[in-house]
Amino acid sequence: MFLIFGNPVAHSKSPLMHNYFFKKMGINECYGRFCLKNGNKIIEKFKELKIKGANVTVPHKEKAFEYADEIRGIAKEIGAVNTLVREGDKIVGYNTDAPGFLEAIKKFDYKKPLIIGAGGTAKAISLVLPEAHILNRSEKRLKYFKEKNKTVFTWDGIKDFDYDLIINTTSAGLKDNLLPAPENLIRKLFSNAKYAVDVIYGKETLFLKLAKEYNLKTKTGLDMLVYQGILAMELFLGKKFDKKEAEKIYFEILR
C-alpha cells in the first residue's frame, strides 16, 4: 500500500490518479491518504502503517527531509522531500517536485521568474530555476535562499516588478480565497508578466483569476502533479515506465 501525507489532504487527487494507474497497468496495489497533524511523527507513522511508499505534501516536506533515514538525489540540496520509499529497514527520501515542475513549464518562453513563498516547493523549484528571485512575507524563511546566493525580497522590500513568470508556491487559495501576497503587489507583478503558475490544483485560485484579468497564460499545479507523480511511481515500484503512456493515463483520469 502507498499513501500521501499532508494537512490538509482531503483535496488530494493523488489517490484518484495513482489508483487509476494501478488499474490500467494491471498492478495489484492501492493508494490512500493520511491527514498527519504532527510532521515530526511522519517516519514513525510511515513505519506504523507498514506502507511501502508515500508522497508528502504541505506542510510536511521539510520534516520528511529531517526525519528520513536516508536522503538521495536532488532532495539533499533542496532540503525537502516529497517522496518516501521503504528500502529494507530504511525509509529513503527523494524529491520529484523539481523535475516535475520543469516539465510542466517547458513550453513557456520566460527569462525572469519570480517565486512567491519560501517552503519546500519553493526550494525545489528554485533549484531547477536558478535564475529565479524569491518573494516571501517574512525575512526568517528566506535564510535558506540567501545561503544559496539567491536574490530575495520581503513584501515590504521588493522594488523591481519586472518579471515575466510569476509562480505561487504557497498554500494561499487552497482552503480559502486569499492571495499569496497583498493584492496591490500582485497586480504590479501581473502588469509586467506573461505567465502565472499556481502549484495548487483542482480549483482556480484567486491568484489565477487575477492573472487572467491581465491576459496572462496560466497553469495550475495539475501538470506538475502528473509529472512528479510519474517519477514518484517509478521510485515506489522500482521500475521505469514509458513516460508518454503513463502521462496519457494520468491525464485521462484527471481531466
**Along the 255 residues of the chain, how does pLDDT read in single tens digits?**
999 999 999 989 999 999 999 999 999 999 999 999 999 999 999 999 999 999 999 899 999 999 999 999 999 998 999 999 999 999 999 999 999 999 999 999 999 999 999 998 999 999 999 999 999 999 999 999 999 999 999 999 999 999 999 999 999 998 888 999 999 999 999 999 999 999 998 889 999 999 999 999 999 999 999 999 999 999 999 999 999 999 999 999 998
pLDDT one-digit tens code per residue, 240-250: 999 999 999 99
Measured distance CA(123)–CA(119) in Å, rounded:
6
213 and 226 both lie in a single domain: no
Strands, E assignment, 23-104: 31-35, 53-56, 70-71, 83-87, 90-94
129 and 213 both lie in a single domain: yes
Instruction: Count CB atoms within 10 A of the CB of residue 226.
Output: 24
Measured distance CA(93)–CA(80) in Å, rounded:
9
Measured distance CA(37)–CA(239) in Å, rounded:
32
124 and 213 both lie in a single domain: yes
pLDDT one-digit tens code per residue, 174-232: 888 899 999 999 999 999 999 999 999 888 999 999 999 999 999 999 999 999 999 99
Q: What is the CATH number of the domain that holds 203?
A: 3.40.50.720
231 and 212 both lie in a single domain: no
207 and 227 both lie in a single domain: no
186 and 127 both lie in a single domain: yes
pLDDT of residue 168: 98
104 and 173 both lie in a single domain: yes
* Inter-CA distances, 169 with 80, 105, 122, Å: 14, 14, 6
CB 192 within 8 A of CB 162: yes
168 and 209 both lie in a single domain: yes
Residue from 240, 223, 238, 250 nearest 105 by CA: 223
148 and 240 both lie in a single domain: no
Split into its structural domains, the chain has a count of 2
Q: What is the CATH number of the domain that holds 51?
A: 3.40.50.10860
167 and 112 both lie in a single domain: yes
Q: Is 61 part of the annotated catalytic residue set? A: yes
202 and 109 both lie in a single domain: yes
Catalytic residue selected from 13, 47, 61, 244: 61
- One-letter amino acid for residue 244 of the chain: K
- One-letter amino acid for residue 203 of the chain: K
16 and 46 both lie in a single domain: yes
**Residue 125: domain span:** 100-219
